[in-house]
Amino acid sequence: MNGDSHEAPKNEKVIEIEDGDDHEDQSSPRGVLEIPVSGSDSDNQSSLSRSLSSRGSSFNDKSPDGEVDSATEEEGSGGAEVVNSSATAHGLQWRNLVDNLKWKSIKRLSALPLMAGYELSRKSLMKRLGKNQSIEDTIEGGNWAVPKPSWRNFTLEELATATDNFSSGNLVGRGGHADVYKGLLPDGQLVAVKRITKKEKKDEDRVGDFLSELGIIAHINHPNAARLIGFSSDTDLHLVLQFAPHGSLATLLHNSEERLEWGLRFKIAIGIAEGLQYLHYECHRRIIHRDITASNVLLMEDYQPQISDFGLAKWLPEKWIHHIVSPIEGTFGYMAPEYFMHGIVHEKIDVFSFGVLLLELITGRRAVDSSRQSLVIWAKPLLEQSKMKELVDPRLEDDYEITELKRVMSAASSSIHHLPNMRPNMKRIVEILKGERSTAEVNQKTGGGGGRAVLLDACDLDNYNSTTYLKDLNRHMELAME
Ligand SMILES: Nc1ncnc2c1ncn2[C@@H]1O[C@H](COP(=O)(O)OP(=O)(O)OP(=O)(O)O)[C@@H](O)[C@H]1O
């Protein structure tokens, strides 16, 4: 998150949820779940009570935030019977870390389902291991196995040596919650050392947030998502990540003299789409990033993009259609309407933010410019009228591939639809971007976007049109900017 992040009060509302299709295009059984939202911080409150009562059994927690709906408890091969054995073999690192962080101060337990979600039957684990990995890269325990963690616990001294005592010359980035330093490990590996600051937060909240980010990032394994090398909880909290030599997309696109060529923009669009598809569909438990922005896209060697900053990310158990959070945190200009108005967290809020990111790649404009103009509000009518020349970044002149540009415009246009159910899911977006399916085909097949359907309620849906949405967006912008 950046300086333009925004917090809004929670909407007190009963949300009805309809279960649409999940992994495939066919409809799934429908169900209605009512989630009364109280004025309290549901996100933190319930996890607080869980954390205080479940120290010994935390590895069994199924929900990232300790919010377990009993209806969501049945999980396939990663079931409860394997959890204890897994915790013994694989949980030691976590235990040490958690002990280090002083248990009683931990409010949110988002990191802990990692182990519960990670152990797999040997067969499914082998399927998941990469080409260059074998069973030697796993820890086994009879009918279960877990991949050996590739990350390690650093001492503060090691990190100080790597970063030349956290010298200002090695400071490569500063976010709202962290300072990031470039570091060099003794084996010659370049790393980014992210020192969590969050000065405004209490220690226990900072630790909880750190565990949450660590738990998620340690779980993911994809070329288009940040890779964890290690962590340190000595005195300060640090994440050690793969270093991104080209910095963030925001810097390259908005703060650089250099023109970002169309070919690279297209490559970045596909990479991030594949990274999100992985988070939403290929992780053992789906992850909603909640803060997809140009600042949170890092560029590795060959400009391979990586989704970074999992500080706001949420795990959603398979059977939860969505989750409601408060406070609503995110980056202004990228937030989907159902998120900024109701605090609803589900895959389609990442799809919306990704649509804004695509608009940035097309136009070279920021999500919110210096005159507080929202890119979505500016671009929507131009997209609807296919005004390509007016949309495209003037710095590109005519140097772009027209077929690719059309695909990116089409994906952007459907991703920023004001109704979540009309946005394609990330699998479909990857197909649209690669030219394997047109938006029309996606709409025809799924009657909209595909994926789980979320209805605010029938009345909202009937009355909610693009104009109302743009008005809401404007009002939201004004409030946030004030
Ligand atoms: N792995 C990395 N390699 C190189 N630079 C990085 C890396 N990670 C972060 N940075 C730089 O540091 C900046 C801040 O990092 P990051 O966004 O993770 O911090 P944050 O405080 O969590 O951000 P936010 O304000 O979004 O919460 C990034 O925008 C980027 O410029």
Look at ligand 1, atom 10, and give the residue with the nearest C-alpha: 173
- Of residues 29 and 295, which shows the higher confidence score? 295
Q: In this structure, is the dihedral angle defined by the CA atoms of residues 133, 275, 116 and 450, taken in order, positive or negative?
A: negative
User: Atom 26, ligand 1: which residue's CA is nearest?
Assistant: 1
Beta-bridge mates of residue 181: 171, 193
**Residue from 463, 407, 456 nearest 432 by CA:** 407
How does residue 58 score in pLDDT terms, banded at 50, 70 and 90? very low
ipTM of the complex: 0.97
Please compute the mean of the pLDDT values over residues 100-127 and round it to a whole number.
41
- Weakest-pLDDT range from 42-51, 343-352, 367-376: 42-51
Q: What is the mean pLDDT of residues 449-477?
A: 59
Please, are residues 391 and 382 in contact by the beta-carbon 8 Å criterion?
Answer: yes
b/e map of 191-208 (b: 16 or more CB within 10 Å)? bbbbbbbbeeeeebbbbb
* Bridge partner residues of 152 (DSSP): 230
User: Ligand 1, closest atom to CA 296?
Assistant: 17
Mutate to test the pocket of ligand 1, among 163, 194, 291, 306 (most ligand atoms within 8 A of CB): 194
Our answer on whether the CB atom of 176 is closer than 6 Å to any ligand 1 atom is yes
The per-residue pLDDT for 289 is 97
* Higher per-residue confidence, 144 vs 348: 348
Confidence of residue 37 (pLDDT cuts 50, 70, 90): very low
- C-alpha separations of 245 from 182, 274, 275, 292, 460 in Å: 10, 21, 19, 20, 46
Band (pLDDT 50/70/90 cuts) for residue 271 is: very high
> Residue 246 C-alpha to ligand 1 middle, in angstroms?
12
DSSP string, 95-150: HHHHHHT-GGG----TTTHHHHHH-B-HHHHHHHS-TT--GGGEEEETTEEEEPP-
pLDDT, tens only, 420-440: 999 999 999 999 999 998 777
- Over residues 127-135, the mean pLDDT reads 54
User: How many A from CA of 472 to the centre of ligand 1?
Assistant: 30
Which atom of ligand 1 is least distant from the CA of 309? 18
Closest-CA residue, ligand 1 atom 29, reads 295
207: confidence class by pLDDT, cuts 50, 70, 90 = confident
- Looking up tokens 């295009």, which residue turns up? 25
Q: Is the pLDDT of residue 168 over 90?
A: yes
Q: Whose CA is nearest to atom 4 of ligand 1?
A: 244
Enumerate residues 6+ apart whose C-beta is below 8 A from 223: 271, 275, 304, 306
Average pLDDT over residues 78-85: 28
pLDDT at site 479: 67
pLDDT at 34 over 60: no
Single-letter amino acid, residue 367: A
pLDDT value of position 206: 80
The predicted pLDDT at position 186 comes to 97
Q: Which ligand 1 atom sits closest to the C-alpha of 245?
A: 4
Atom of ligand 1 nearest to the CA of 306: 1
**pLDDT tens-place string over residues 380-392:** 999 999 999 999 9
Per-residue pLDDT, 45: 27
The pLDDT value recorded for residue 219 is 87
Q: Is the CB of 2 under 6 A from ligand 1?
A: yes
The more confident residue out of 413 and 93 is 413
Q: Kindly state the percentage of the chain with pLDDT values over 90.
A: 47
**pLDDT-derived band of residue 317, with 50, 70 and 90 as boundaries?**
confident
Average per-residue pLDDT for the chain: 73
Q: Which ligand 1 atom is the nearest neighbour of the CA of 3?
A: 25
Is residue 159 scored above 50 in pLDDT? yes
pLDDT at 113: 33
Where is 168: in which H helix or E strand? none
Percent of the chain with pLDDT over 70: 61
Is the CB of 192 within 6 Å of ligand 1? Answer: yes
Which residues are known to be catalytic?
A: 291
Per-residue pLDDT averaged across 88-100, rounded? 49
Ligand 1 pocket, residue 201 CB under 6 Å: no
pLDDT higher at 355 or 38:
355
What is residue 134's predicted lDDT score, i.e. its pLDDT?
58
**Among 16-20, 191-195, 303-307, the least confident range:** 16-20
pLDDT for position 124: 56
Q: How confident is the model at residue 458 (pLDDT cuts 50, 70, 90)?
A: very low
Lowest mean pLDDT among 128-132, 270-274, 388-392: 128-132
Task: Give all strands (DSSP E) within 154-227, no chain letters.
Answer: 171-174, 178-184, 190-196
**What is the per-residue pLDDT for 93?**
52
The pTM score is: 0.72
Mean pLDDT of 317-330: 82
Which residue from 287, 342, 334 is spatially nearest to 311, judged by alpha carbons? Answer: 287
Q: Measured from the CB, is residue 248 less than 6 Å from ligand 1? A: yes
Nearest residue (by CA) to ligand 1, atom 11, is 173
174 alpha carbon to ligand 1 midpoint, in Å? 6
What confidence score (pLDDT) does residue 463 get?
Answer: 55
Q: Is the pLDDT of residue 52 over 70?
A: no
